Structure 1
């Protein structure tokens, strides 16, 4: 994948305006909806048992986010996920805080077991804990570990048979055979709640228009990181509130020229067993 293809997928999102069905957490609902609109997608937040199967079936992708768990919401996720699987709609999972409590970990693993998950995105601790590996987590934030994140991402992708996106200082996107290492983004993203959750939904927007889900996820993460860098250049000195508003602007404005100029990533084949 080259920079031209990334820009082409961004334009495809804007041209096709895909419906992205989000069953997400209450902290990020408004931010996610506004950012998807700015990017060019069409967000819908539908949670009721009575309609989630129908909504998921007509969507371009389904995003499941366990940030604020309730038993009835988990049931909605299962209903929607099974409907999406039946209709060939890609399901993207954000296992927010997996490893922090037994309930979160069990819920994330249940979703992985009962549904066909196309892409799973999280920080290193969340991804490790979903896969049954040890990694410290503080609330919903990854703790420190001496383990290699690249090796973790590849091994989990192979084990779960899904695209794995581990995001952090550098972002690793892999299907277990090939991988992208993406160097875009800005530290101020960590000062605005919901930026990781939003990234998962942005992956959903790209997955709705591109069947090669490794390519879709890598293009989404790169586009997101470039927009964040430009937003930070314009607003970081004013603080995270100004950055959040400018980030919405840049998701709307980011274009091929800026992707060509600012995107930085590596693509490599995986030789790990």
Structure 2
């Protein structure tokens, strides 16, 4: 990846920047940091997805370097990934192990350390921003069967920020809930036969989802 020469001009029309380290390499790490810093200079919010951060010391060190080098508006990951950002002894154990982790406690600790909104995905999703902690219970088991679903959610969150570098928690609630409610509706579609047909149905449902369906289905709880 080469740092675009006209990046600052691009940021004039962009709403947000999503940084996903799924394809992190030694060749692009400095470009990623430079892009994040340029976004900061342009006043653009950054959603950071530390994909598989606990898989290697290299990935963990890079994530910590990025978080020191640039200000991100949202950190999004599963419980194991966020835990790896706050606990040097934590390793990647797979999403199945997330059920045994206290996602609310992890999100609160991560917020205390990084002072930025935390979104933890899982069977239930957790959002911590400021003094509020929210648990969202929408979604479909098929999301875990589709590669890239979490990455897509990162893009949806970025789209909901509307250039707000300090996002209101309501925007994050809406972003995560819209995505997960769309997943529910797509999974219930009579044409959904499994992961292969679920993926395009999810995209179509995201496009067509309306306020009435959103309000009827949202499952939300504020926790201590």
SS at match of 2:63: helix
Q: What residue number does 2:125 align with?
A: 171
- The question of 1:152 aligning with 2:106 is answered yes
Q: How does 1:35-74 map to 2 (within 5 A)?
A: 47-51=1-5, 53-54=7-8, 55-56=10-11, 58-74=13-29
Write the deviation string for residues 73-131 of structure 1: whole angstroms up to 9, x where unpaired. 22221111111111211011000001111111111111111110110000001001112
Distance 2:197 2:216 in 1: 24
Worse-superposed segment, 119-128 or 175-184: 175-184
* Alignment partners' CA distance in 2, 1:178 and 1:158: 12
Q: Which residue of 2 aligns with 1:15?
A: none
Whether 1:126 and 2:126 are equivalent positions in the alignment is: no
Q: Structure 2 length as normaliser, TM-score? A: 0.91
Contact residue 57 and residue 83 of structure 1 kept, 8 A: no
Structure 1 equivalent of residue 135 of structure 2? 181
* d(CA) in 2 for partners of 1:121, 1:227: 19
Q: CA deviation at 1:147?
A: 3.8
CA distance in 1, matches of 2:99, 2:178: 28
Deviation string, structure 1 residues 40-67 (Cα, Å, up to 9, x no partner): xxxxxxx531337323454210100000
Structure 1 position 70, deviation (Å): 1.7
Whose relative contact order is higher, 1 or 2, with alpha carbons under 8 Å and at least 6 apart?
1
1:85 corresponds, among 11, 30, 40, to 40
> Aligned pair 1:106/2:61, yes or no?
yes
* 2:156 paired with 1:202: yes
Contact 2:86 2:109 in 1 (8 A): no
Matched, 1:256 2:211: yes
- Give the whole-Å Cα distance in 2 for the aligned partners of 1:183 and 1:168: 9
- Give the aligned length: 222
Shift of 1:208: 2.1
For 1:236 and 1:108, the matched residues in 2 are separated by: 40
Contact map agreement 1:56 1:81 (CA 8 A) in 2: no
Please give the alpha-carbon distance, in whole angstroms, between the structure 2 residues aligned to 1:79 and 1:58. 19
What residue number does 2:144 align with? Answer: 190
Are the aligned partners of 1:65 and 1:197 in contact in 2 as well (CA < 8 Å)?
yes
Following the alignment from structure 1 to structure 2, what is the Cα–Cα distance between the partners of residues 56 and 221? 24
C-alpha RMSD of matched pairs (Å): 2.0
1:94 matched to 2:26 = no
Indicate the SS of the match to 1:72: coil
- Residues 48 and 76, structure 2, Cα contact 8 Å, conserved in 1: yes
Deviation readout 1:152-194 (Å, 9 max, x if unpaired) = 1111111110100000000000124102111010010011100
